[in-house]
Amino acid sequence: MDGRLQVFSGTAHPQLAHDIMRMLDAPLGRALVDQWRNGETRIRLEESVRGSDVFVIQPLCTPVNHNIMELLLLIDALKRASADRITAVIPYFAYARQEKKTTGREPISAKVVSNMLVTAGVDRVLAIDLHAPAIEGFFDIPVDHLRGTSLLARRFHKEFDLPVVAVSPDSGGVTRAENFRALTGGSLAIISKRRPSPDETEVIEMVGNVDGQPCVIVDDMISTGSTLVEAAELLAKRGAGQIYAAATHGVFAADAFERIEQSPISRVIVTDSVPIPESRRDMIEVVTIAPMLAEAIMRIHNDMSVSALFS
């Protein structure tokens, strides 16, 4: 690698950062990322970054606000240390479901996070499966928006090697489900729902034949699991065969694991965009995004096209 390339990480997902650096065959940048006794975040770079092309790996997962602050302070430290360019590698972008107002007197939280990153001094963002593609437009800097669907589809096709019904749990995810279907074969089904609030869903109807067929519910994230479980229950009522789920971000908030365990879902496959507890690996299969992110980092550093990784 060119000596100008340096990669640092916050504390959100150290395993992913180490996996990426193993792919790049280089050490992770040395930095103190800790907390003061009063709970404030403490950052100190322990090597020079002057003139470097720097990447900071930090998914904005739980604890969300703490991880956002770590990322902002890392960016500020790099900027003040004269880094030439700073790219925030954000496999999971928090507040992405709050990209618009659903009622009066509430914030557009995703826009606020975007503004904070730019104000801190980031020059570029590398993200995977933003819940709302419109978030790209919140930034006045380049955003490389990768997709995890192809990784999940290849993993599923390799293991099961049979045509399936790719199910979109809502109308907004039809393109994602269609891409999954194209890579695995089979057909498409679409569930219509409405979302009274960011954490609530209500299934209305479904289009597509699933009777006796294996189905894969394809989504960008699993948060509380309510969308996933309601979709699975509807599929079971319509006579579906084995029911699986595939999602890029396995957030698994609140009692999501318990909900899924009690649902008709046979298996869930997610990526490691956020840490998944080892104790849950019996029911959750994890596909790594480290090779894809390592390739994207090298392409960005060498001013090469990243478009080949978008599919």
pLDDT tens digits along 31-65: 999 999 999 999 999 999 999 999 999 999 999 99
Res. 199: pLDDT tops 90: no
pLDDT at 189: 97
Please give the torsion angle defined by the CA atoms of residues 21, 23, 26 and 29, in that order, rounded to the nearest 10 degrees. Answer: -10
Which residue is it, tokens 């970054």? 49
Given a cut of 60, whether residue 2 has pLDDT beyond it is: no
pLDDT given for residue 170 in this prediction: 86
Sequence-separated (6 or more) residues with CB below 8 Å from residue 299 = 305, 306, 309
pLDDT of 140 above 70? yes
Q: In a 3-state reduction of DSSP, which class is residue 82? A: coil
Q: How confident is the model at residue 246 (pLDDT cuts 50, 70, 90)?
A: very high
User: Dihedrals φ, ψ of 254, to 5°?
Assistant: 55, -125
Q: What is the reported pLDDT for 61?
A: 98
- Inform me whether the pLDDT recorded for 114 exceeds 70: yes
Q: Residue 265 pairs with which residues in a beta bridge?
A: 243
Band (pLDDT 50/70/90 cuts) for residue 1 is very low
pLDDT higher than threshold 60 for residue 311: no
| Burial (CB count <10 Å: 0-12, 13-18, 19+), residue 66 | middle
As separate numbers, helices (DSSP H) first and strands (DSSP E) second, the chain gives 8, 14
Q: How far apart are CA 287 and CA 132, in angstroms?
A: 22
Are the C-beta atoms of residues 181 and 167 closer than 8 Å to each other? no
Angle of helix 149-160 relative to helix 174-184, nearest 10 degrees, comes to 40
Mean pLDDT of the chain: 93
Confidence label for 200 from pLDDT (cuts 50, 70 and 90): low
Counting every residue written for the chain, the total comes to 311
Asked if 301 contacts 293 with a C-beta cutoff of 8 angstroms, the reply is no
Specify the pLDDT at position 242.
Answer: 94
Asked if pLDDT for residue 265 goes beyond 60, the answer is: yes
Using the predicted structure, report yes or no on whether residue 183 has a pLDDT greater than 50: yes
What mean pLDDT comes out for the span 185-197? 81
- Catalytic site residue 158? no
Map out the domains of the chain with their CATH numbers: 5-148+290-309 (3.40.50.2020), 149-287 (3.40.50.2020)
For position 197, what pLDDT does the model report? 63
Q: What percent of the chain has pLDDT over 70?
A: 95
Please give the average per-residue pLDDT across 92-118, as a whole number.
Answer: 95
Q: Is the pLDDT of residue 87 over 70?
A: yes
pLDDT at residue 39 in the model: 96
Phi/psi of residue 300, each to 5°?
Answer: -65, -45
Give me 22's structure tokens. Answer: 């193993």
Question: In sequence order, which ranges of the chain are alpha helices (DSSP H)?
Answer: 14-24, 64-80, 109-120, 149-160, 174-184, 226-237, 256-261, 290-301
Percent of the chain with pLDDT over 90: 82
* More reliable by pLDDT, 163 or 179: 179
Catalytic residue among 100, 158, 193, 237: 193
Query: Which residue's entry shows tokens 């992770």?
Result: 28
**Stretch among 80-84, 101-105, 284-288 having the lowest mean pLDDT:** 101-105
Quick one: which H or E segment has residue 249?
strand 243-250
Asked whether 242 and 266 are in contact (CB, 8 A), the reply is: yes
